[in-house]
Structure 1
Amino acid sequence: MRKLIITSALGASLASPALAASGPFFSLRNTDFVVLLGFLLFLAVLAYFKVPGMLGKLLDKRADDIRNELDEARALREEAQTLLASYERQQHEVSAQADRIVANAKEEAEIAAEQARKDLKDAIARRLAAADDHIASAQASAVKEVRDRAAIVAVAAARDVIAQQTSAADKDRMIDESIAEVGAKLH
């Protein structure tokens, strides 16, 4: 490769029109020759310090680094996809669990509502029975009170009627009969 570069540089320099005008090519006064010498010296310094090999190694290292980064990126992407799938699966599980909880809550609410209706019916029935008992008791009390009043009024009326219709002799005779009857019952 070095020979190719040197020959191409020499060939291009030899064929230049500047050569014909400026004199011999291999002269330090010819700028093309001096530039060619500087370029060849530069290439020799690069070859001596093994710069092409170092550049190749650096490029190979950079390619390896890029390959490693790509592999790491692929691994991270696969891990991210795995995590995403895991989170989606967990989300579906949580969603299903939430649906089950809602269904159970609805079922329990229906059961509680039915129990509340039953308890309400029982409470209403107890209150109606208590009210009926209270009404019956009040009615019985009122009937007893009316009977008692009626008996008192009847006794008072009978007393007034008897007092007006009986004479003093009949009164004495009735008292004597009553005393005799009470005495007979006591002995």
Structure 2
Amino acid sequence: MANTTPEVFATEAAEVNTEVGHGGAGTHAEPELFGLAPFQIVSIAMLILLLIAFFGAKVHKTIAGGLDSKIAAIKDQLEEAKQLRAEAEALRQEYADKIAGAEKDAEAMLANAQHEADAILEKAEADSQAMVERRKRMAEDKIAAAEREAVEDVRNRAALAATAASRALIADKHDADADKALADKVIAGI
């Protein structure tokens, strides 16, 4: 292949500034934006910046005022939360005290119930002991009554037997003449 250089095609002819400035040098073309010179663009930019700063300050005040009101609302909510927490702590302490009091009351009730149960047990033991003593006395009284009755019965039978034996003896040994002499003797003694 042959060494070929690329060919450049120009679509339009380039403008060349041929004006001569100081000392024979070419003049420099100033850039333009929308037909305005650079100092005019800077002036407009400064005006826009100052307008933003002026109106932005008002916006800043509005934003700061809104933020301050939100900060105040948050502070109020925090204060309310602190108060609610303090109230909750007080309620918790109150209920803890009530629970402790209830536990003490339950212990006292348990001790009282134990004391009453002991007293009832002692009374039941005393009552049962008294009932045993009473029944023992009743049994002894019944035995003594039965003994007296038996002794009385034995005496009565002995008296009847003695009476029957003396009748029989008297009847055997004592006749009508002895009766007459005995009767006379009794009458004479009166």
Answer yes or no: is 1:116 the counterpart of 2:120. Answer: no
Quote the residue 1:172 is aligned against: 176
Structure 1, unmatched stretches of 5+, are: 1-23, 28-39
Cα deviations by residue, 1:74-133 (Å, 9 ceiling, x for unpaired):
121122112211211221122112212211221232133223212321221122112101
Q: Give per-residue Cα distances to partners, 1:8-59, cap 9 Å, x unaligned.
A: xxxxxxxxxxxxxxxx7548xxxxxxxxxxxx7xx97xx49x5543332222
Aligned positions of 1:35-184 closer than 5 A = 47=55, 50-160=58-168, 162-163=170-171, 165-166=172-173, 170-180=174-184, 182-183=186-187
* TM norm structure 1: 0.63
Which structure has greater helix proportion? 1
Q: Number of residues paired by the alignment?
A: 144
Q: CA deviation at 1:156?
A: 2.5
Equivalent-residue separation in structure 2 for 1:182 and 1:53 (angstroms): 159
* Structure 2: stretches of 5+ with no match in the other structure: 1-31, 36-47
TM-score by length of 2: 0.62
Measured after TM superposition, the shift of residue 161 of structure 1 is 5.1
Letter in 1 for 2:152: K
Greater RCO, CA 8 A, separation 6+: 1
Shift of 1:61: 0.8
Residue 177 of structure 1: how far off its partner (Å): 4.1
The residue type equivalent to 1:86 in the other structure is: E
Counterpart AA for 2:91: L
Please state how far the C-alpha of 1:139 moved relative to its aligned partner: 1.1
Three-state SS of the structure 1 residue aligned to 2:175 is helix
In angstroms, what is the RMSD of aligned CA positions?
3.0
Offset at residue 153 of structure 1 (A) = 3.1
Letter in 2 for 1:141: E
> What is the distance in 1 between the residues matched to 2:59 and 2:184?
162
After superposing on structure 2, the runs of 4+ consecutive aligned residues of structure 1 that deviate more than 2 Å are: 24-27, 50-56, 153-163, 173-185
